[in-house]
Structure 1
Amino acid sequence: MSFRQTFAPILDFVYPPRCPACGNGIAGGSPTGDDAFCAPCWGKLQLPGQPWCATCQHPFGADHFGAEAQCARCLADTPMHDGIAAATIYGDVSREMVLHFKHGGRIALAGPMGRTIAARIGQIGGENPLVTPVPLHRWRLWKRGYNQSAMLAKVVAGTLGLEFRPDLLLRRKATPSLGGLDPGQRRDALKGAIACNPRVELAIRGRNIILVDDVLTSGATSDACVRVLKKAGADRVVIACYARVRHAQDVPKRETPETVGLGRPRD
């Protein structure tokens, strides 16, 4: 029995475990710690599952056309990526997790969120992949104090026993917040923003890559990253995220610490 399991009753009495999404206490505690949701949040958490698109793993509805079926987006424009592993579907609970982590300074959420992403990757990541985050521009990194995607990627790599490479991609120019922009505007805003790090370009050639981000909305940012990685010689690039927005959903509008009532982020 581990130290945590032995002293769990005492720790739970002194520091009652709380749901990472809503903050309410969890009845009975949990020896696994911060991975546990309360029953109401767990009931509302949306998890992706089959049937889904054979190319991007976007969940289908009840009507589908077999294991090799593709969604309308992939049929209209074949993506450069080699699959998407999403831990959750963007909804009330995953939204709270992302906002508290990204804007509320609750960096401890990187653990449970990253482990959940890792559990969804499976064989889609290919053989011995490198794990790299979507890069953050230095000015935004300075303002926020951390790159949330890099923190998630580090947990994913550690959980799966893979090599963590936070230095593969660079964000050369600051881009405006993409929230509220349509897909075309997002692509325009990202032109020339993402580049391969010339000092480590050789490490990319012939390798499988897991590209980690917190939320996948229109896919403009991840597509720009995949394009750069493929141009540098990556064999396969899989996108891994905590929450993905359904195609039929509206892209979430820009949310700031003030608009969601989280106060200023703690750097």
Structure 2
Amino acid sequence: MSHFQRLISALLPSCCILCNRSQAATICISCMQQLQEQRRQGQLACLCCGIELLEAVDKSTTPEGQRCRECIVTPPFFDLSFCLASYEGQLKTAVHQLKYQRRLAYATGLAHLWNSLMTLHLDKLPPCYLLPVPLSRQKLAERGFNQCWEIAKHLTLPKHLKVLPHALRRRHSLSNQISAGRQVRQQALNGLFYFEPRYADLLARQTVIVFDDVMTTGSTLNAIAKVLKDHGVYHVRNWVLLRTPRQLTDV
């Protein structure tokens, strides 16, 4: 944190984005400790799509590894998914405050959570690129910001992980994806994302990380991964802030 940021924090105390306790930090110690404990006791999840598994998987005897039945039967185009937490409770409210109430300070707090809880996934990363999920120009003009980029630009990343905020583009769609089921989402996403040609040589045969705020059915991230691999990307993994619980993914 710079001297200027420390001065601002001292003069303008904020609140914890989860419990609203007044303090300088965006996440209080109590909430951070609670989330750390929840991650330690969390249910086993599919390594591919991040959904919680219905039963324990013996990775030593299962050739597919720690994967759900859907990812074994119909493998997605992406290879791995790392999800911070479940899309519920105070974290869900915090994301809504950022996206729909335009409280940009919540992006800093959510990034701080990621920096504190997901450091293990940075240790063995190969040289790679991080791409935030894009909004269409119309949606960006309406909202005023891309929440994925607002969070991603506050992540603490190793030097060999480069951020490319404009490599992915999204065409505008009039359909509402929030309440749509899996099949409807997949159909609506056909041709929605495209890749800036000037990045093709840079990303060919590389590992790419796609950063998203919420993963529901995985259809959006799968459509993006297909576009990336069609342009020569070797490996695609997802970094997702919140993963929708299994009982809500097919709504």
TM-score normalised according to structure 1 size: 0.78
Letter matched to residue 143 of structure 2: R
Letter matched to residue 81 of structure 1: F
1:148 aligns with 2:141: no
- Of residues 59, 77, 84 in structure 1, which corresponds to 2:74? 77
Instruction: Give the total of aligned pairs.
Output: 241
Q: How far apart are the structure 1 equivalents of 2:245 and 2:90?
A: 15
Match of 2:62 in 1: none
Change beyond 3 A, Cα 1:41–1:91: farther
Letter matched to residue 58 of structure 2: G
Letter matched to residue 159 of structure 1: L
Match of 1:53 in 2: 46
1:34 aligns with 2:32: no
How far did 1:21 drift?
Answer: 2.6
**Matches for 1:1-267 after TM superposition, within 5 Å:** 11=10, 15-25=12-22, 29=23, 33-36=25-28, 39=31, 42=34, 47=39, 49=42, 51-60=44-53, 63-67=55-59, 68-118=65-115, 119-120=117-118, 122=121, 126-156=125-155, 158-161=156-159, 162-249=161-248
How far did 1:191 drift?
Answer: 1.2
Q: How far apart are the structure 1 equivalents of 2:249 and 2:150?
A: 27
Change beyond 3 A, Cα 1:153–1:251: farther
SS at match of 1:180: coil
Q: Tell me, which stretches of 5 or more residues in structure 1 are unaligned?
A: 253-267
Q: Indicate conservation of the 8 Å contact 1:170/1:197, yes or no.
A: yes
Q: Deviations over 1:189-218 (max 9, x none)?
A: 111110111122222101111101110001
Q: Over the residues paired in the alignment, what is the CA RMSD in angstroms?
A: 3.2
How far did 1:56 drift?
Answer: 3.1
Q: Tell me, which stretches of 5 or more residues in structure 2 are unaligned?
A: 60-64
How far did 1:248 drift?
Answer: 2.3
Q: How far apart are the structure 1 equivalents of 2:216 and 2:20?
A: 26
Q: How far apart are the structure 2 equivalents of 1:237 and 1:125?
A: 15
Q: Deviations over 1:133-160 (max 9, x none)?
A: 111100000011011112222223x433
TM-score normalised according to structure 2 size: 0.82
How far did 1:166 drift?
Answer: 0.9
